[in-house]
Homo-oligomer: A and B are copies of this chain.
Amino acid sequence: MTIRRVGLWLIGACGGVGATAALGLAALSRGLSDSTSLVTALPLFEPLHLDEPAQFVVGGHEIRQAGFRQTVRELQKRSNIFEPALADACQEDLQRWEANLRPGTLLNSGPAIARLADRSDLPSDATARHALERIQNDLHDFRARNQLEQVVVINVSSTEAPFETSEIHQSLQRLTAALERRPPPLPASSLYAWAALDLGLPYINFTPSLGASLPALVELAQERRAVIGGKDGKTGETLLKSVLAPMFALRNWRLLSWVGHNIFGNRDGQVLDDPANKASKIRTKDQVISSIVGYKPQTLVSIEYIDSLDDWKTAWDHIHFKGFLGTKMTLQFIWQGCDSILAGPLVLDLARLALFSQRRGEVGVLRHLACFFKNPMDVQEHDFFKQFAMLEEYVKQCGAAKTP
Protein backbone atom coordinates (compact mmCIF):
# COMPACT_ATOMS: atom_id res chain seq x y z
CA MET A 1 0.00 0.00 0.00
CA THR A 2 1.47 3.37 -0.95
CA ILE A 3 1.32 6.18 1.51
CA ARG A 4 -1.13 9.00 0.88
CA ARG A 5 0.67 12.24 0.07
CA VAL A 6 -0.71 15.68 0.82
CA GLY A 7 0.44 19.16 -0.12
CA LEU A 8 0.94 22.24 2.04
CA TRP A 9 0.85 25.33 -0.17
CA LEU A 10 2.00 28.46 1.63
CA ILE A 11 1.30 32.02 0.55
CA GLY A 12 4.42 33.95 1.54
CA ALA A 13 6.14 30.58 1.78
CA CYS A 14 9.64 31.69 2.67
CA GLY A 15 8.91 34.17 5.43
CA GLY A 16 9.89 33.16 8.94
CA VAL A 17 6.63 31.33 9.65
CA GLY A 18 6.57 29.42 6.37
CA ALA A 19 10.23 28.45 6.56
CA THR A 20 9.82 27.27 10.15
CA ALA A 21 6.79 25.20 9.20
CA ALA A 22 8.73 23.63 6.33
CA LEU A 23 11.81 22.98 8.44
CA GLY A 24 9.58 21.55 11.16
CA LEU A 25 7.94 19.10 8.75
CA ALA A 26 11.35 17.97 7.59
CA ALA A 27 12.73 17.64 11.12
CA LEU A 28 9.69 15.75 12.37
CA SER A 29 9.72 13.41 9.36
CA ARG A 30 13.34 12.64 10.00
CA GLY A 31 12.79 12.13 13.71
CA LEU A 32 15.14 14.98 14.55
CA SER A 33 12.72 16.77 16.82
CA ASP A 34 9.93 15.84 19.16
CA SER A 35 6.42 17.14 18.68
CA THR A 36 6.54 19.78 21.42
CA SER A 37 4.32 22.73 20.55
CA LEU A 38 2.21 20.81 18.03
CA VAL A 39 -1.29 21.01 19.45
CA THR A 40 -2.38 18.15 17.24
CA ALA A 41 0.25 15.93 18.83
CA LEU A 42 -1.71 15.97 22.09
CA PRO A 43 -3.28 12.59 22.94
CA LEU A 44 -6.68 14.16 22.34
CA PHE A 45 -6.15 14.01 18.59
CA GLU A 46 -4.90 10.45 18.29
CA PRO A 47 -8.27 9.02 17.26
CA LEU A 48 -8.35 11.32 14.22
CA HIS A 49 -5.31 9.78 12.55
CA LEU A 50 -4.26 13.09 11.10
CA ASP A 51 -1.67 13.20 8.32
CA GLU A 52 1.84 12.57 9.54
CA PRO A 53 4.70 14.97 8.78
CA ALA A 54 6.27 12.51 6.38
CA GLN A 55 3.19 12.65 4.17
CA PHE A 56 3.56 16.35 3.44
CA VAL A 57 5.04 18.02 0.37
CA VAL A 58 5.58 21.78 0.62
CA GLY A 59 5.26 24.48 -2.02
CA GLY A 60 4.03 28.01 -2.24
CA HIS A 61 3.97 31.50 -3.64
CA GLU A 62 6.67 34.03 -2.88
CA ILE A 63 7.43 37.59 -3.96
CA ARG A 64 10.98 37.49 -2.67
CA GLN A 65 13.97 35.60 -4.05
CA ALA A 66 14.92 33.97 -0.78
CA GLY A 67 14.08 30.28 -0.52
CA PHE A 68 13.43 28.18 2.59
CA ARG A 69 17.12 27.56 3.13
CA GLN A 70 18.10 31.21 3.04
CA THR A 71 15.39 32.16 5.53
CA VAL A 72 16.44 29.33 7.82
CA ARG A 73 20.01 30.59 7.66
CA GLU A 74 18.88 34.13 8.39
CA LEU A 75 16.84 33.00 11.37
CA GLN A 76 19.82 31.06 12.66
CA LYS A 77 22.14 33.99 12.31
CA ARG A 78 19.88 36.84 13.35
CA SER A 79 17.54 35.20 15.85
CA ASN A 80 19.79 32.46 17.16
CA ILE A 81 17.31 29.62 16.66
CA PHE A 82 17.44 26.17 15.00
CA GLU A 83 20.32 23.94 16.03
CA PRO A 84 22.89 23.76 13.24
CA ALA A 85 22.81 19.95 13.12
CA LEU A 86 19.05 19.88 12.79
CA ALA A 87 18.96 22.56 10.10
CA ASP A 88 21.81 20.95 8.16
CA ALA A 89 20.12 17.56 8.14
CA CYS A 90 17.02 19.10 6.58
CA GLN A 91 18.70 21.01 3.77
CA GLU A 92 17.88 18.39 1.19
CA ASP A 93 14.14 18.50 1.92
CA LEU A 94 14.10 22.28 1.87
CA GLN A 95 15.98 22.37 -1.42
CA ARG A 96 13.57 19.89 -2.99
CA TRP A 97 10.60 21.93 -1.82
CA GLU A 98 12.11 25.13 -3.17
CA ALA A 99 11.51 23.68 -6.62
CA ASN A 100 7.82 24.03 -5.79
CA LEU A 101 8.01 27.79 -5.23
CA ARG A 102 6.24 30.06 -7.72
CA PRO A 103 6.15 33.86 -8.08
CA GLY A 104 3.30 35.44 -6.11
CA THR A 105 1.20 38.43 -7.05
CA LEU A 106 1.61 42.01 -5.88
CA LEU A 107 -1.77 43.01 -7.22
CA ASN A 108 -3.32 45.36 -4.67
CA SER A 109 -1.04 44.27 -1.85
CA GLY A 110 0.07 47.82 -1.09
CA PRO A 111 3.39 49.67 -1.00
CA ALA A 112 4.77 48.21 2.26
CA ILE A 113 4.62 44.70 0.87
CA ALA A 114 5.69 45.73 -2.62
CA ARG A 115 8.90 47.10 -1.12
CA LEU A 116 9.87 43.57 -0.06
CA ALA A 117 9.45 42.10 -3.56
CA ASP A 118 12.77 41.25 -5.21
CA ARG A 119 12.03 38.28 -7.44
CA SER A 120 12.92 39.05 -11.03
CA ASP A 121 10.20 36.78 -12.39
CA LEU A 122 7.20 38.48 -10.75
CA PRO A 123 4.55 38.78 -13.48
CA SER A 124 2.61 42.04 -13.53
CA ASP A 125 -0.87 40.61 -13.40
CA ALA A 126 -3.06 42.93 -15.43
CA THR A 127 -6.32 42.08 -13.70
CA ALA A 128 -7.59 40.04 -10.80
CA ARG A 129 -8.76 37.44 -13.28
CA HIS A 130 -5.29 37.07 -14.74
CA ALA A 131 -3.81 36.66 -11.29
CA LEU A 132 -6.44 34.10 -10.33
CA GLU A 133 -5.78 31.97 -13.37
CA ARG A 134 -2.06 32.03 -12.85
CA ILE A 135 -2.39 31.07 -9.19
CA GLN A 136 -4.72 28.20 -10.03
CA ASN A 137 -2.32 26.92 -12.67
CA ASP A 138 0.41 26.87 -10.06
CA LEU A 139 -1.79 24.90 -7.67
CA HIS A 140 -2.80 22.40 -10.35
CA ASP A 141 0.75 21.92 -11.36
CA PHE A 142 1.90 21.40 -7.75
CA ARG A 143 -0.70 18.76 -7.19
CA ALA A 144 -0.10 16.93 -10.42
CA ARG A 145 3.66 16.85 -10.35
CA ASN A 146 3.71 15.64 -6.77
CA GLN A 147 0.80 13.22 -7.03
CA LEU A 148 -0.96 14.74 -4.06
CA GLU A 149 -4.32 13.50 -2.86
CA GLN A 150 -5.11 16.78 -1.15
CA VAL A 151 -3.64 20.27 -1.01
CA VAL A 152 -4.26 22.84 1.71
CA VAL A 153 -3.53 26.52 1.11
CA ILE A 154 -2.38 28.63 4.07
CA ASN A 155 -1.69 32.34 4.00
CA VAL A 156 1.40 33.15 6.09
CA SER A 157 2.41 36.28 4.20
CA SER A 158 2.88 39.78 5.62
CA THR A 159 -0.16 41.69 6.81
CA GLU A 160 -1.88 43.86 4.20
CA ALA A 161 -3.38 47.27 4.95
CA PRO A 162 -7.09 47.13 5.83
CA PHE A 163 -9.26 46.76 2.74
CA GLU A 164 -12.73 48.25 2.90
CA THR A 165 -15.35 46.01 1.39
CA SER A 166 -18.52 47.33 -0.20
CA GLU A 167 -21.73 46.16 -1.80
CA ILE A 168 -20.05 44.17 -4.55
CA HIS A 169 -18.24 42.01 -1.96
CA GLN A 170 -21.55 40.76 -0.59
CA SER A 171 -22.33 38.46 -3.50
CA LEU A 172 -20.23 36.11 -5.53
CA GLN A 173 -22.01 37.03 -8.71
CA ARG A 174 -21.38 40.73 -8.37
CA LEU A 175 -17.79 40.23 -7.37
CA THR A 176 -17.12 37.85 -10.24
CA ALA A 177 -18.44 40.46 -12.58
CA ALA A 178 -15.91 42.95 -11.20
CA LEU A 179 -12.86 40.78 -11.65
CA GLU A 180 -11.67 42.66 -14.72
CA ARG A 181 -11.94 46.07 -13.13
CA ARG A 182 -8.98 48.31 -12.45
CA PRO A 183 -8.07 48.80 -9.72
CA PRO A 184 -8.96 45.21 -8.87
CA PRO A 185 -11.81 44.77 -6.41
CA LEU A 186 -9.80 42.57 -4.03
CA PRO A 187 -6.44 42.61 -2.28
CA ALA A 188 -3.87 39.94 -3.10
CA SER A 189 -4.74 37.87 -0.04
CA SER A 190 -8.29 37.43 -1.30
CA LEU A 191 -7.15 36.44 -4.77
CA TYR A 192 -5.17 33.55 -3.31
CA ALA A 193 -8.19 32.60 -1.21
CA TRP A 194 -10.46 32.72 -4.25
CA ALA A 195 -8.08 30.61 -6.29
CA ALA A 196 -7.94 27.94 -3.61
CA LEU A 197 -11.62 27.83 -2.75
CA ASP A 198 -12.62 27.86 -6.38
CA LEU A 199 -10.61 24.64 -6.77
CA GLY A 200 -12.32 23.22 -3.69
CA LEU A 201 -9.11 23.36 -1.65
CA PRO A 202 -9.09 24.06 2.08
CA TYR A 203 -7.96 27.60 2.75
CA ILE A 204 -6.60 28.95 6.03
CA ASN A 205 -5.79 32.58 6.69
CA PHE A 206 -3.10 32.82 9.36
CA THR A 207 -2.91 36.62 8.93
CA PRO A 208 -5.25 39.54 9.63
CA SER A 209 -5.46 40.33 5.88
CA LEU A 210 -8.87 40.11 4.22
CA GLY A 211 -8.38 36.65 2.65
CA ALA A 212 -11.65 34.75 2.47
CA SER A 213 -13.45 36.80 5.11
CA LEU A 214 -16.06 38.36 2.87
CA PRO A 215 -19.53 37.03 2.04
CA ALA A 216 -18.76 36.45 -1.63
CA LEU A 217 -15.90 34.08 -0.84
CA VAL A 218 -17.80 32.27 1.89
CA GLU A 219 -20.46 31.78 -0.77
CA LEU A 220 -17.81 30.44 -3.13
CA ALA A 221 -16.64 27.98 -0.50
CA GLN A 222 -20.17 26.72 -0.05
CA GLU A 223 -20.56 26.31 -3.78
CA ARG A 224 -17.29 24.44 -4.24
CA ARG A 225 -17.76 22.57 -0.93
CA ALA A 226 -14.47 23.87 0.42
CA VAL A 227 -13.49 24.63 4.01
CA ILE A 228 -12.22 27.94 5.38
CA GLY A 229 -10.27 28.74 8.52
CA GLY A 230 -9.06 31.99 10.01
CA LYS A 231 -7.99 34.47 10.86
CA ASP A 232 -4.77 35.79 12.34
CA GLY A 233 -2.88 33.15 14.29
CA LYS A 234 -3.03 33.61 18.06
CA THR A 235 0.57 33.06 18.97
CA GLY A 236 1.70 35.15 21.92
CA GLU A 237 0.49 38.29 23.66
CA THR A 238 -3.08 37.90 22.42
CA LEU A 239 -3.12 34.28 23.50
CA LEU A 240 -2.23 35.45 26.98
CA LYS A 241 -5.01 38.01 26.88
CA SER A 242 -7.48 35.30 26.02
CA VAL A 243 -6.14 33.20 28.90
CA LEU A 244 -5.96 35.90 31.57
CA ALA A 245 -9.05 37.98 30.83
CA PRO A 246 -11.38 35.09 31.81
CA MET A 247 -9.72 35.01 35.24
CA PHE A 248 -10.58 38.65 35.80
CA ALA A 249 -14.15 37.97 34.73
CA LEU A 250 -14.63 34.92 36.95
CA ARG A 251 -13.08 36.58 39.98
CA ASN A 252 -15.31 39.61 39.39
CA TRP A 253 -12.35 41.96 39.35
CA ARG A 254 -12.92 45.12 37.36
CA LEU A 255 -10.39 45.76 34.60
CA LEU A 256 -9.46 49.43 34.57
CA SER A 257 -6.87 49.43 31.82
CA TRP A 258 -4.87 46.92 29.81
CA VAL A 259 -1.80 48.22 28.06
CA GLY A 260 0.17 45.98 25.73
CA HIS A 261 3.41 47.03 24.11
CA ASN A 262 4.92 44.68 21.54
CA ILE A 263 8.38 45.06 20.08
CA PHE A 264 10.09 42.88 17.50
CA GLY A 265 12.32 43.16 14.46
CA ASN A 266 11.49 40.63 11.78
CA ARG A 267 10.22 41.20 8.25
CA ASP A 268 6.65 41.07 9.44
CA GLY A 269 7.61 43.85 11.83
CA GLN A 270 8.97 45.91 8.97
CA VAL A 271 5.67 45.67 7.15
CA LEU A 272 3.75 46.48 10.33
CA ASP A 273 5.90 49.57 10.71
CA ASP A 274 3.72 50.96 7.94
CA PRO A 275 0.78 52.56 9.79
CA ALA A 276 -1.75 51.21 7.29
CA ASN A 277 -0.63 47.61 7.74
CA LYS A 278 -0.28 48.03 11.49
CA ALA A 279 -3.90 49.12 11.69
CA SER A 280 -5.05 45.65 10.54
CA LYS A 281 -3.06 43.97 13.25
CA ILE A 282 -4.06 46.21 16.13
CA ARG A 283 -7.68 45.90 15.18
CA THR A 284 -7.69 42.16 15.76
CA LYS A 285 -5.53 42.36 18.88
CA ASP A 286 -7.72 44.90 20.63
CA GLN A 287 -11.14 43.29 20.66
CA VAL A 288 -10.31 40.22 22.71
CA ILE A 289 -10.53 41.72 26.18
CA SER A 290 -13.82 43.57 26.02
CA SER A 291 -15.39 40.59 24.29
CA ILE A 292 -14.46 38.38 27.25
CA VAL A 293 -15.25 40.67 30.18
CA GLY A 294 -18.36 42.23 28.68
CA TYR A 295 -17.36 45.87 29.07
CA LYS A 296 -14.68 48.08 27.62
CA PRO A 297 -11.75 48.93 29.90
CA GLN A 298 -9.24 51.40 28.50
CA THR A 299 -6.94 49.45 26.24
CA LEU A 300 -3.78 50.34 24.37
CA VAL A 301 -1.92 48.09 21.96
CA SER A 302 1.30 49.11 20.30
CA ILE A 303 3.48 47.15 17.90
CA GLU A 304 6.86 48.62 17.16
CA TYR A 305 9.72 47.54 14.94
CA ILE A 306 12.95 47.19 16.90
CA ASP A 307 15.58 45.84 14.59
CA SER A 308 17.85 44.20 17.14
CA LEU A 309 15.12 41.89 18.42
CA ASP A 310 14.74 40.13 15.11
CA ASP A 311 12.19 37.36 15.45
CA TRP A 312 11.98 37.62 19.24
CA LYS A 313 8.70 39.29 19.96
CA THR A 314 8.80 40.84 23.39
CA ALA A 315 5.58 42.08 24.92
CA TRP A 316 5.01 43.98 28.14
CA ASP A 317 1.44 44.03 29.34
CA HIS A 318 0.35 46.20 32.24
CA ILE A 319 -3.05 45.21 33.60
CA HIS A 320 -4.62 47.54 36.11
CA PHE A 321 -7.70 46.32 37.93
CA LYS A 322 -9.95 47.18 40.81
CA GLY A 323 -10.52 44.69 43.59
CA PHE A 324 -12.57 44.71 46.77
CA LEU A 325 -13.53 48.03 48.33
CA GLY A 326 -12.07 49.97 45.42
CA THR A 327 -8.45 48.90 45.80
CA LYS A 328 -6.43 49.09 42.59
CA MET A 329 -3.96 46.30 41.91
CA THR A 330 -1.62 45.38 39.08
CA LEU A 331 -0.56 42.39 37.06
CA GLN A 332 2.24 42.76 34.56
CA PHE A 333 3.67 40.19 32.25
CA ILE A 334 6.64 40.06 29.95
CA TRP A 335 6.52 37.63 27.09
CA GLN A 336 9.68 36.75 25.20
CA GLY A 337 8.72 34.44 22.38
CA CYS A 338 10.14 33.73 18.97
CA ASP A 339 7.50 34.53 16.40
CA SER A 340 8.33 31.89 13.82
CA ILE A 341 8.81 29.23 16.44
CA LEU A 342 5.40 30.04 17.89
CA ALA A 343 3.56 30.25 14.59
CA GLY A 344 5.23 27.47 12.62
CA PRO A 345 3.72 24.52 14.50
CA LEU A 346 0.25 26.10 14.50
CA VAL A 347 0.42 26.21 10.71
CA LEU A 348 1.05 22.48 10.73
CA ASP A 349 -1.81 21.94 13.17
CA LEU A 350 -4.15 23.91 10.94
CA ALA A 351 -3.00 22.09 7.84
CA ARG A 352 -3.63 18.72 9.44
CA LEU A 353 -7.03 19.71 10.79
CA ALA A 354 -8.20 21.37 7.57
CA LEU A 355 -7.20 18.38 5.46
CA PHE A 356 -9.06 16.16 7.90
CA SER A 357 -12.19 18.30 7.68
CA GLN A 358 -12.08 18.23 3.92
CA ARG A 359 -11.86 14.44 3.95
CA ARG A 360 -14.89 14.34 6.20
CA GLY A 361 -16.83 16.40 3.69
CA GLU A 362 -17.21 19.48 5.87
CA VAL A 363 -17.98 22.74 4.12
CA GLY A 364 -17.52 26.43 4.97
CA VAL A 365 -16.01 28.05 8.01
CA LEU A 366 -14.32 25.66 10.45
CA ARG A 367 -15.59 27.23 13.66
CA HIS A 368 -13.93 24.63 15.85
CA LEU A 369 -10.53 26.14 14.98
CA ALA A 370 -11.31 29.33 16.91
CA CYS A 371 -8.63 28.70 19.55
CA PHE A 372 -5.94 29.14 16.91
CA PHE A 373 -7.00 32.64 15.88
CA LYS A 374 -6.99 36.19 17.22
CA ASN A 375 -10.09 36.93 15.19
CA PRO A 376 -11.90 33.65 14.63
CA MET A 377 -14.33 33.70 11.71
CA ASP A 378 -17.99 33.29 12.68
CA VAL A 379 -17.12 32.88 16.36
CA GLN A 380 -17.66 35.53 19.02
CA GLU A 381 -15.97 33.57 21.80
CA HIS A 382 -12.45 34.79 22.65
CA ASP A 383 -11.91 32.90 25.92
CA PHE A 384 -9.10 30.51 25.01
CA PHE A 385 -10.38 27.72 27.21
CA LYS A 386 -13.92 27.93 25.87
CA GLN A 387 -12.50 27.97 22.37
CA PHE A 388 -10.44 24.90 23.15
CA ALA A 389 -13.51 23.20 24.55
CA MET A 390 -15.13 23.73 21.12
CA LEU A 391 -12.22 21.90 19.55
CA GLU A 392 -12.45 19.09 22.09
CA GLU A 393 -16.15 18.76 21.42
CA TYR A 394 -15.45 18.55 17.70
CA VAL A 395 -12.86 15.84 18.16
CA LYS A 396 -15.23 13.91 20.37
CA GLN A 397 -17.95 14.05 17.76
CA CYS A 398 -15.56 12.99 15.02
CA GLY A 399 -14.34 10.13 17.14
CA ALA A 400 -17.90 8.94 17.57
CA ALA A 401 -18.16 8.53 13.80
CA LYS A 402 -15.46 6.53 12.02
CA THR A 403 -12.44 8.51 10.81
CA PRO A 404 -12.63 9.00 7.05
A: which residues have CB within 8 A of B?
Answer: 20, 23-24, 27, 33, 35-39, 41-42, 77, 80-84, 86, 239-240, 243-244, 246-247, 250-254, 256-257, 259, 261, 263, 298, 300, 302, 304, 306-309, 314, 316, 318, 320, 322-338, 341-342, 344-345, 371, 384-385, 388
Given A259-B263, A325-B86, A341-B329, A304-B308 contact (CB < 8 Å): no
B302 and A298 form a contact (CB under 8 A): no
Residues of chain B lying within 8 A (CB to CB) of residue A35 = 252
Residues of chain B lying within 8 A (CB to CB) of residue A304 = 259, 300
Interface of A is mostly: mixed
Given A307-B298, A318-B263, A331-B335 contact (CB < 8 Å): yes
A257 and B309 form a contact (CB under 8 A): yes
From B27, B239, B333, B384, A332 is in contact (CB under 8 Å) with: B333
B257 and A324 form a contact (CB under 8 A): no
Number of this chain's copies in the complex: 4
Give Cα A81–Cα B38 distance, bound, in whole angstroms: 26
B325 and A336 form a contact (CB under 8 A): no
A254 and B325 form a contact (CB under 8 A): no
Listed from nearest, the 3 A-B pairs whose CB atoms lie closest are A256-B308, A37-B324, A333-B333
B342 and A324 form a contact (CB under 8 A): yes
B239 and A247 form a contact (CB under 8 A): yes
Give Cα A384–Cα B257 distance, bound, in whole angstroms: 23
Give Cα A82–Cα B80 distance, bound, in whole angstroms: 10
Q: Among A41, A325, A331, find the residue whose CB has the most chain B CB atoms closer than 10 A.
A: A325
B338 and A323 form a contact (CB under 8 A): yes
Residues of chain B lying within 8 A (CB to CB) of residue A82 = 325
From B23, B84, B308, B316, A325 is in contact (CB under 8 Å) with: B23
Residues of chain B lying within 8 A (CB to CB) of residue A81 = 325, 327
B36 and A323 form a contact (CB under 8 A): yes
Instruction: State the Cβ distance, A69 to closest chain B Cβ, in Å.
Output: 15
Chain B: CB-nearest residue to A338: B327
Sample 27 A-B pairs with CB under 8 A, ordered by A number. Answer: A20-B324, A20-B325, A23-B325, A37-B253, A37-B254, A37-B324, A38-B252, A77-B83, A80-B80, A84-B84, A86-B326, A243-B246, A250-B384, A256-B308, A257-B307, A259-B261, A261-B316, A263-B300, A316-B316, A324-B341, A324-B345, A327-B338, A327-B341, A331-B333, A331-B335, A331-B337, A333-B333
Instruction: State the Cβ distance, A323 to closest chain B Cβ, in Å.
Output: 5
Q: Among A83, A308, A329, find the residue whose CB has the most chain B CB atoms closer than 10 A.
A: A308
